[in-house]
Amino acid sequence: MIGVIANAVEHDVVREFFELFKTPWEFYRSTRRYDVVLCSGAASVGAPNADLVILYAGGAIPFDTDAKIPIDCQQSNAMLSYRGQRLPLYGESLTFRTEGMALSDEASARPAACVTRSGDGVAVRIGYDLFREIRAALTVGQPVANAGLPCVDTHIAVLRDVILAWTDGLVEIPPVPDGYPFIACLTHDVDHPSIRRHGWDHTTFGFLYRAVLGSVIDVARGRKSVRSLLTNWTAAMTLPFVHLGLARDPWAGFDRYLAIEAGLRSTFFVIPFENDPGRTRRGPAPARRASRYGARDIADSIRRLASAGCEIGVHGLDAWHDSTKGRQELAEVAAITEALEVGARMHWLYADEHSPATLEKAGFVYDATSGYNETVGYRAGTTQVFKPLDAIRLLELPLHVMDNALFYPSHLHLAPRDAWRRVSDIIEHARHLGGTVTVNWHDRSIAPERLWGEFYAHVVDELKESGAWFATAGQAVAWFRRRRTAVFEAVSTESGMVRAKVSVGGDRDLPGVRLRIHRTRDPRRCGAFAIGASAAYVDIGVHGRIDARLPI
């Protein structure tokens, strides 16, 4: 059991952090002895009663003087290194004049952690404020420069390793559905379901430029094949016949997505109202944000997708800042799907830190907007679905991979080989730690002039090979909601055995959760946090209630 000492203003982020690192914990009580006590920032209650005390703070605290901690220097926005992983910090941090620590400042190589004795136990002093870092990631999000760094997941790994280095074991419920290594969410923002509806506007002329001249440039640079060039030229030449209704609309691609996904569950976010650009906080949004269709215009396609097992969400316009308009947008789509629970992703990823509470007030059960337009990676620093701190029930499904970000000239503009390296790194991270890999492939991206369908099919195949559970956005959120219901009824260690009683509720049609029991092979004699504890674990599937006993 972990006892947490934190200031009252941090309690909301403490609670959310321990939904992400789901292990037994409670706010510290002086009448109880703990295996671990975690102290945050300047919060203190004297000498905590625990075998292991972990103190996080980005500035000097009284403990440093009492324990004669050798502080080296203080800095802001440091980049740390931990076992080959980079860990960005967004607040103040300290380094120490000690040797051999696994957590260190990248620039100076000075340790960012220090180990000392504390009464009958051990104290580990870590030179940043954990919960301020978590708050920054879950609210403001990471800058583009750090998009590829899953900072929240790394913070969890650091804390887990410290505990395993100095205690006899640990129990947790990892973000891993029972029977699968992680969750794959295939999603599609429906912006342009028909080029015919555009007439001869800027979207059509952009299509012609990229199909005719842009394709030549891409072939010359090795980004497209000659076959793709001929496909795009053919599409450009037949465009007048498309507008006359004499040729098939090349952007009408829902059936092609169903074929690529071959029965896998996916989610389509549809725009509720035609010719409405929505607004920014300061005034009208750019006119080109408006779409040439509304949900009613593709009602038959929406019903066909739903009958094939796909989920339909709202690709919102103003819901992110106006709950009244959000209710209107939700109602427009729900009237077609008749769904009782509807999620949202904002068009152009419009959002601010107050958006989750606004969307919740509008009636949405989840949001899937937390991501980047210009790059791929971890805006919130994690693969996990999380509850935004301003929300009560609404959960946030982070977006990790988007087609436009990978291939648009104004964004990363990657060749397929380089794009695959970015995507495979994200999949590999999920293989190791669980959570979700959320992919957004726009409706027109497998059609001329983009022709990104082959790459998308490769992504889907790799996710299949990895053994992922393919879930709609709503199902992924529901699984994480189920995980949040899990309760550690009792955890105890005695006579070399660990006993854990755990119960989990929620939808039994979803995969269960895993109870993970870590067992340190050689506790306190493995070099501790300096080189990392050598640990193993056992996973046990939990679908209702379990009382497990295992030797440590």
Each of the 552 residues of the chain gets a pLDDT tens digit; together they read 999 999 999 999 999 999 999 999 999 998 888 999 999 987 666 667 788 999 999 999 998 888 899 999 999 999 999 999 999 999 999 999 987 679 999 999 999 999 987 667 889 999 999 999 999 999 999 999 999 999 999 999 999 999 998 887 899 999 999 999 999 999 999 999 999 999 888 899 999 999 999 999 999 988 889 999 999 999 999 999 999 999 999 999 899 999 999 989 999 999 999 999 999 999 999 999 999 999 999 999 999 999 999 999 999 999 999 999 999 999 999 999 999 999 999 999 999 999 999 999 999 999 999 999 999 999 999 999 999 999 999 999 999 999 999 999 999 999 999 999 999 999 999 999 999 999 999 999 999 999 999 999 999 999 999 999 999 999 999 999 999 999 998 888 777 778 888 999 888 889 999 999 987 654 444 444 444 444 588 899 999 998 888 776
In whole angstroms, give the CA distance from residue 353 to residue 455: 33
383 with 463: CB under 8 angstroms? no
- Name every residue whose Cβ is closer than 8 Å to that of residue 410 and which is 6 or more positions away in sequence: 374
What local confidence, expressed as pLDDT, does residue 552 receive?
66
Helix axes 355-362, 323-337, angle to 10 degrees: 50
Closest by CA position to 265, among listed 218, 312, 230, 320:
312
Q: Which domains does the chain have, with CATH numbers?
A: 2-167 (3.40.50), 183-194+251-479 (3.20.20.370), 196-250 (no CATH), 486-551 (no CATH)
Q: Which ranges constitute the DSSP H helices of 294-400?
A: 299-307, 323-337, 355-362
What local confidence, expressed as pLDDT, does residue 45 receive?
60
What local confidence, expressed as pLDDT, does residue 46 receive?
64
Q: Which ranges constitute the DSSP H helices of 51-187?
A: 62-66, 130-139, 151-166
* CA terminus-to-terminus distance, the chain: 16
Say what the pTM is: 0.94
Closest by CA position to 551, among listed 494, 485, 472, 491:
494
**Residue pointed to by tokens 């690709």:** 315
What local confidence, expressed as pLDDT, does residue 2 receive?
95
In whole angstroms, give the CA distance from residue 398 to residue 187: 12
What local confidence, expressed as pLDDT, does residue 530 receive?
45
Closest by CA position to 310, among listed 302, 299, 318:
302
In whole angstroms, give the CA distance from residue 15 to residue 174: 16
DSSP strands (E only) in 272-323: 311-316
- Name every residue whose Cβ is closer than 8 Å to that of residue 421 and which is 6 or more positions away in sequence: none
